[in-house]
Amino acid sequence: MARSPGESLPAQGKLPVVLTINGKRAQLGVAPWTTLLDALRDHLDLTGTKKGCDHGQCGACTVLLNGRRINSCLTFAVMQDGAEITTVEGLAANGSLHPVQQAFIDHDAFQCGYCTSGQICSAVGLISEGRAKSAAEIRELMSGNICRCGAYPNIVAAIQQAMGKP
């Protein structure tokens, strides 16, 4: 449960944080400056979420926070106490890949793969936002995810498939 606003926190050092990650409750103690990204990777061994630039410019760290895509490198874990997080590890269900994951395979939408988990989480967020109708809108609304291998045409094609667009 989220703490109510203003409820006093224990003396600084390790702050207790409860997160629901991929449907599972996790309790951890973090320093105030531990980003959500570092909490996922270093405290919870969820290394699917990648650290690229660590400044919100590349999108490799994209996760879904309460269903919305965000850069996990630009928020502190303690600020998200009580939140629901979905990482790339939580997208597949009942042994089946998420349609976006399958579409990335079908369209060969990656080369080195480093940006891919961020691209996929961002695409899942994009589809649930429901704002992108055309390829141009997909490109614009995916501009927060950089792919230095340049797999962009295939990424757009994969997202179009997952959206059910021709």
Partner 1 sequence: MIDFEYVRASDVADAVRQSAASTGAKFIAGGTNLIDLMKEDVEKPRRLIDISRLPLKQVEETAEGGVKIGALVPNSDLAYHSLIERRYPVLASAILAGASAQLRNMASIGGNLLQRTRCYYFYDAATPCNKREPGSGCPAIEGLNRMHAILGASEHCIATHPSDMCVALAILEARVHVAGPDGERVIPFPDFHRLPGDMPQTDTNLQPHEIVTAVEIPPQGFAKNYTYLKIRDRLSYAFALVSVAAGLEIEDGTIKEARFALGGVAHKPWRNRAAEDLLRGQAANAGNFQQAADILLREAKGYSHNRFKIDLARRTIVRALTQAARGTPQIQSDKKVR
Q: Of 124, 58, 57, 113, nearest to 90 (Cα)?
A: 124
Least Cβ distance, residue 24 to partner 1 (angstroms): 23
> Contact at 8 Å (CB) between 59 and 71?
yes
Could you say whether residue 128 binds partner 1 (CB under 8 A)?
no
CB atoms within 10 A of CB 116: 23
Decide if residue 55 touches partner 1 (CB under 8 A): yes
Question: What is the rounded distance in angstroms from the CA atom of residue 18 to the CA atom of residue 25?
Answer: 7
Binding mask 58-97 for partner 1 (x = CB under 8 A): -x--x--x--xxxx--xxx-xx------------------
HSE-CB of 68 using CA atoms within 13 angstroms: 3
Q: How far is CA 4 from CA 32, 66, 77, 82, in A?
A: 18, 17, 16, 10
Q: Which of residues 130-159 bind partner 1 (CB under 8 A)?
A: 131, 134, 136-137, 139-145
Least separation in angstroms between CB 7 and partner 1: 7
Question: From the CB of 96, what's the least distance to partner 1, in Å?
Answer: 26
Q: Which residues bind partner 1 (CB under 8 A)?
A: 2-7, 9, 12, 15, 32-33, 35, 54-56, 59, 62, 65, 68-71, 74-76, 78-79, 122, 125-126, 129, 131, 134, 136-137, 139-145
